[in-house]
Amino acid sequence: MDTKTIKSESAAITAIIAGHNNNSTDLMDILIDVQERFRFISEEAVGIIAKAISSSISEVEQTLSFYHFLSRTPTGKYTVYLNNSAVAEMMGRDEIAQTFEEEAECEFGTVSEDGNIGLFHTSCIGMNDQEPSAIINQRVFTSLSRKGVIELVHAMKNGVEIDDLPGTGVRSNIIRPGPILTMEAQPAEILKKTVSRKPEDVIAEVRAANLRGRGGAGFLTAMKWQLCRAVKAERRYIFCNADEGEPGTFKDRVILTERPELLFAGMVIAGYAIGAAEGILYLRYEYKYMAEHLEDVLRQMREDGLLGKSAVAKQDFDFDIRIQFGGGSYVCGEESALLESAEGKRGEPRDRPPFPVEKGYLQQPTVVNNVETLCAVAKIMLKGSNWYRALGTVESTGTKLLSISGDCERPGVYEVEWGFNVNDILRMVGAEDVQAVQVSGPSGTCIASSEFNRRLAYEDLSTGGSMIVIGNQRDLLKDIVLNFTDFFISESCGSCVPCRAMTIQYKKKLEKILRGNGVAADIDQMLSWEKVMLVNRCGLGQTAANPILSTIRNFRELYNSRLRKHTDFVSEFDLSAAVRESCKITNRIPGPGGG
Amino acid sequence: MSILITINGREYGAESGQSVLEIATDNGIYIPTLCNYEGIKPQGCCRVCTCLINGRKMTACTTPATDKMVVETNNQDLEWIRSTIIELLFVEGNHFCPACEKSGSCELQALAYRYRMMAPQFPYSFSARDVEPAHGTLLIDHNRCILCKRCVRWRPEPEAPGWFVFVNRGHETRIKFVHERAADFNKSLAQAAMNICPVGAIIRRGKGYDVPIGRRKYDKLPIGSDIETKERS
Amino acid sequence: MNKPLIATTSLAGCFGCHMSIMDLDDRILQLIELIEFNKSPINDIKTLSKECDIGIIEGGCANSDNIRLLKEFRKNCRVLIAVGECAIMGGLPAMRNNSASISECLQEAYIDCVSVQANDEGLIPNDEELPMLLDQVYPCHEIVKIDYFIPGCAPRADLIWDVLTALISGKKMELSYECFKFD
């Protein structure tokens, strides 16, 4: 590279950093911008960034190296991230991956020799209803076919602009809209109604609706708000958790595309209720393609006076919303990891206490709510808690958005009242010959037909909203459980020992059983390790063995049928494989059995 | 504010804000730890100090005590969890004790002794890791690193940034020396870093094997004995 | 009653664990009152001539002959004990596992190493009499089922004594802290 190019590059990087006021808490944004501009973050770039934000190269690297979509080596002019979720594999991902490799003439994990195309695997990108799919330079290509990939790579080889590349974009796939997804009022109306009441009354209304967090944990929303409001502080924050990283979940994608006004209205309401000055939408990087659309909506809201100084024409209510992108990390869906990430750090969950409502973003009281929760809040403010409470069951009020994918005729988003049972849902989505349903993604539970009469409700079968239908034609352990286990291995933040290291032991055991070398004691051992998994710091780590544990509990026969009987010890040592290399060097032929 | 806390069925007075671990230690109750180190901000990475606190499994090093808190530090379940975590660490890295400068004074090894680990229940990974000449005064042997993050959290000067960072994530996480400030690093900091490291991952160059077998930290008495024999207040 | 039969062998080890058995000093006289040695370097009996009660394995498995011998011990010993770090986890020979392939090891040992003097043809030892090296050094319990482990490098003589006398007498043993070491 000549000095001139280097100069113009460093000028561009300096301009990017200046655009973020040389602020170290904006490190994620800076890194993302540099990554997108240069398709990687060079050593020089890291040096410039470190200097500008008064940090060190190592510290910048500390953050940078944590995130999947940030790279220290070039990722190609076109960077292809092909989803490797279990459903993608069910829908023919292997053939697509192979086609990419053949056409681009490079292997996954590498960049083509001319530096044009980079191929990479990535965890679920929230497109399970239209797999196989891939992200190429922030643009999402869905329902990929072999023919489509050939055309796509051909166009990339010809230098076609990203926006002009041939392919199918994201479809919303709302199959069954319900009260939340039905747009009945503009945000202005909802917000005017809200600010005409006292913040305490807003919280009381949400409490009366008995709204519980839709992320999965089911904590009472009003209580979270109340706790946050009660902490004395200069500044409070409301975060919307749009990290939606649980494989098989994509309902937030649909809300963000179809009903962003409702979500932002919900954030304003929450901000008003807790006394926050800023709302931050933490959006997973996989959804970067929505950025422009969402910024447009926010701009419009600002123009309409719904955001900014004296928002909604309410004196002393200064409130605005900004978008914070993640960098590719499942763990950042955990609220305290999300806050760390938003501060420009590694997405490692924090120790609790203190809880985010006491010390959250930048050590200030912070509420983190799910996308769907905030939409429900907006609807509750519009139509009242009585209306809301009439939906669902007594303990689980309202509706639930479900992301349904896998072996069914009509994958997509369904809004149902709490209380629906699994059989009803399977009928609704056109699923027959069902072997299992993975409820709430890999961290949830895999249930067999004997449990299909269970109801979706906090008091029965709780769910964050993902349901993956697994047909009888699938090898549940090999096609699904192994994939999920790999997912947890690659997404562990690495901080807690059991999450980082035990997941690998689980995989080894599962593979041993899949090779037909397992014994009964292996199953007992895997069950006994659950205790150790449960001491991980965050909920994601605690549930990382659930794919194996829940299938051992609900599909024991699938394991038993693969075990070696009448023995308590099987060695997987293979003498002929072990001596292969030394025989080759010495030109010897191993005797029978390798010896 | 003074508080009362019950540990293993006995009541102790303490100050609110103290961690459960500190209170237990002050009162002669040993809770095994690996990632915790006096003077370094706790982070709950190893999970070894997990106790039953008000009926929930929580790490003693990060949990501030509150009035009327009930803690159980030791039962069969907790001990099994601890020893299993130790076994996990032994197979995750490459711990060749007979060839380690820290042997005899290593906290990981000492905990394995305390739990009488014969052979881990997991297969050894023998993962390929580097030995890195990180600085003129310092070696990092990644084979032995248990990612306790002590060195990363260590601040020899409270206001200045630390000397080590974490890079990558998951099982690929590694510690990294902050090379940019290498000129300010010296022998005594290297010695301090080596002392902080619970295992033999951070080694001051030219140092090692200087205490004869039989006189090393954990040769005669199990780790925690100093706490357990402390006079109870 | 016949005295229990014990066989011992060293696989990829340094015989240090056997030195530790010798380190029983005068207790070795008490030991032979209690047991009878079959195949063992201690009495130089080369082959397992009958079924034994206890087999003691020193060293891990680095070559094909180690595997053969270990399997033979498993077949002929009622109780099999892995003694020392090498048998338990591969020990120092296993330091090659995480750093070099077998070709790199041989290349370095016989061709590239500065101390190689008289190998102008660049030969790597190769004879039908020689066992074949394995890709890795394996802990014994990954090859056959191991009943007990005695850690140490080498295990202290006292620990070996305690284990053997406990096994023979059938009494429960206390593992003393000072004897229990990995180095």
Q: Are residues B85 and B199 in the same domain?
A: yes
Taking each helix axis from N to C terminus, what angle separates A199-208 and A260-274, rounded to the nearest 10 degrees?
A: 120
Same domain for B137 and B41, yes or no, is: no
- What is the distance between the alpha carbons of residues A546 and A530, in angstroms, rounded to a whole number? 9
Position B215 in a domain: no
- Shared domain for B109 and B163, answered yes or no, is yes
CATH number for A175-389 (one of 3.40.50.11540, 3.40.30.10, 2.60.40.10, 3.40.50.9100): it is: 3.40.50.11540
What is the CATH classification number for the domain harbouring B57? 3.10.20.740
Instruction: Look at A579 and C101 and tell me if their CB atoms are within 8 Å.
Output: no
Rg from Cα positions in chain C: 18
In this predicted structure, what is the pLDDT of residue B107?
98
Q: What is the pLDDT of residue A1?
A: 54
* CATH architecture classification, A399-474: Roll (3.10)
Q: Which two tokens stand for residue A73?
A: 């080596």
- Does B220 sit within 8 Å of C180, measured CB to CB? no
Q: ipTM for the complex?
A: 0.97
Q: Provide the residue ranges of all domains of chain A, joining segments of one domain with +.
A: 3-64, 78-171, 175-389, 399-474, 477-560
Confirm or reject contact between A585 and chain C (CB < 8 A): yes
d(C-alpha B191, C-alpha B45), whole Å: 23
| B231 pLDDT above the threshold of 60 | no
- Interval C85-126: pLDDT, tens: 999 999 999 999 998 999 999 999 999 999 998 888 888 988
B182 in a domain, yes or no? yes
Decide if C142 touches B, using CB distance below 8 A. Answer: yes
Same domain, B158 and B90: yes
- C132 with A577: Cβ contact below 8 A: no
Cα(B163)–Cα(A441) distance, integer angstroms: 40
Position B214 in a domain: no
Q: Do B84 and A529 touch (CB under 8 A)?
A: yes
Chain C interface, best mutation among A567, A585, A587, by max C CB count within 10 A: A585
Total residue length of chain A: 595
B168/A66 Cβ within 8 A: yes
Of C68, C135, C145, nearest to A569 by CB-CB distance is: C145
B31 and B6 fall within a common domain: yes
> Pairing relation of β-strands A117-122 and A110-111?
antiparallel
- Shared domain for B139 and B156, answered yes or no, is yes
Pairing assessment for the beta strands A466-471 and A445-448 based on DSSP bridges: unpaired
- B67 and B89 fall within a common domain: no
Q: Which residues of A touch B165 (CB under 8 A)?
A: 58-59, 61-62
Is A1 in CB contact (< 8 Å) with chain C?
no
Please count the structural domains in chain B: 2
Within a domain: B138: yes
CB pairs under 8 A between A and B: 116
Task: Domain C5-97+136-169: state its class.
Answer: alpha beta
Same domain, B90 and B70: no
Closest CB from A353, A494, A496 relative to B169: A494
pLDDT in tens, B37-77: 999 999 999 999 999 999 999 999 999 999 999 999 999 99
Neighbouring-strand partners of residue A237: A278, A366
Domain locations in chain C as residue ranges: 5-97+136-169
Instruction: Tell me which residues of chain B, numbers 70 to 89, contact chain A at a CB-CB cutoff of 8 Å.
Output: 77, 80-81, 84-85, 88-89
pLDDT band, residue B232 (cuts 50/70/90): low
pLDDT at C89: 96
B80 CB near a chain C CB, below 8 Å?
no
Among the listed residues A324, A232, A240, the one whose alpha carbon sits nearest the alpha carbon of residue A275: A232
Contacts of B146 in chain A (CB under 8 A): 497
CATH code of the domain in which B194 resides: 3.30.70.20
Which CATH architecture does the domain made up of A477-560 adopt? Up-down Bundle (1.20)
A78-171 adopts what CATH topology? Answer: Glutaredoxin (3.40.30)
The neighbour count for residue C176, using CB atoms within 10 Å, is: 11
Indicate if the pLDDT at residue B233 is higher than 50: no
Nearest to B192 by CA among B151, B147, B132: B151
Helices (H), A231-290: 251-258, 260-274
| Amino acid found at C149 | F
Q: Is the Cβ pair B170, A501 closer than 8 Å?
A: no
Indicate yes or no: CB of C183 within 8 angstroms of CB of B112.
no
pLDDT exceeds 60 at position B105: yes
Mutation for testing the B interface, residue in C80, C86, C96, C98 having most B CBs under 10 Å: C98
Residues B106 and B198 in one domain: yes
Question: Which residue is closest to B118 within chain C, CA to CA?
Answer: C149
Q: Does residue B58 fall inside a structural domain? A: yes
Long-range contacts of A480-483 (CB under 8 A, 24+ apart): A480/A86, A480/A436, A480/A438, A480/A446, A480/A547, A481/A446, A481/A510, A481/A547, A481/A548, A481/A551, A482/A507, A482/A510, A482/A511, A482/A514, A483/A84, A483/A85, A483/A86, A483/A89
Quote the domain boundaries for residue B121. 81-204
Instruction: Give the closest of A61, A494, A536 to B147, CB-based.
Output: A494
Judging contacts by C-beta atoms under 8 Å, the chain A residues touching residue B73 are: none
Residue B189 included in any domain: yes
Contact C157, C23 (CB under 8 A): yes
* Subunits adjacent to chain B (3 or more Cβ pairs under 8 Å): A, C
Nearest to A66 among B47, B146, B169 (CB): B169
Nearest to B77 among A57, A490, A531 (CB): A531
Which among C65, C101, C143 has CB closest to A573? C143
Measured between beta carbons, the chain C residues lying within 8 angstroms of B99 are: 92, 95
Given an 8 Å threshold on Cβ–Cβ distance, is C143 in contact with A571? Answer: yes
Q: What pLDDT band is residue B1 in, cutting at 50, 70 and 90? A: confident
Give chain B positions within 8 Å (CB) of A500.
92, 147, 170-171, 173
Which partners does chain C have (≥3 C-beta pairs < 8 Å)?
A: A, B
Check pLDDT > 80 for residue C1: no
Residues of C in contact with B143 (CB under 8 A): 98
Question: What separation, in Å, do the N-terminal and C-terminal C-alpha atoms of chain A show?
Answer: 56
Q: Say whether both B57 and B85 belong to one domain.
A: no
Calculate mean pLDDT across residues B172-200: 96
- In whole angstroms, what is the distance from residue A69 CA to residue A66 CA? 9
Q: How would you write the pLDDT of chain A (595 residues) with one tens digit per residue?
A: 566 777 788 999 999 999 999 999 999 999 999 999 999 999 999 999 999 999 999 999 999 999 999 999 999 999 999 999 999 999 999 999 999 999 999 999 999 999 999 999 999 999 999 999 999 999 999 999 999 999 999 999 999 999 999 999 999 999 999 999 998 889 999 999 999 999 999 999 999 999 999 987 889 999 999 999 999 999 999 999 999 999 999 999 999 999 999 999 999 999 999 999 999 999 999 999 999 999 999 999 999 999 999 999 999 999 999 999 999 999 999 999 999 999 999 999 999 999 999 999 999 999 999 999 999 999 999 999 999 999 999 999 999 999 999 999 999 999 999 999 999 999 999 999 999 999 999 999 999 999 999 999 999 999 999 999 999 999 999 999 999 999 999 999 999 999 999 999 999 999 999 999 999 999 999 999 999 999 999 999 999 999 999 999 999 999 999 999 999 999 999 999 999 999 999 888 876 555 5
- Cβ distance B128 to C99 less than 8 Å, yes or no, reads yes
Task: Specify whether the CB–CB gap between B140 and B151 falls below 8 A.
Answer: no
B120 shares its domain with B188: yes
Q: Do A500 and B167 touch (CB under 8 A)?
A: no
Contact call for residues C124 and C108 (beta carbons, < 8 A): no
Strand (E) or helix (H) holding A14: helix A3-19
Closest CA to A586 of B157, C85, C63, C141: C63
Instruction: Tell whether the model's pLDDT for residue C128 goes beyond 90.
Output: no
How many beta-carbon contacts under 8 Å exist across A and C? 58
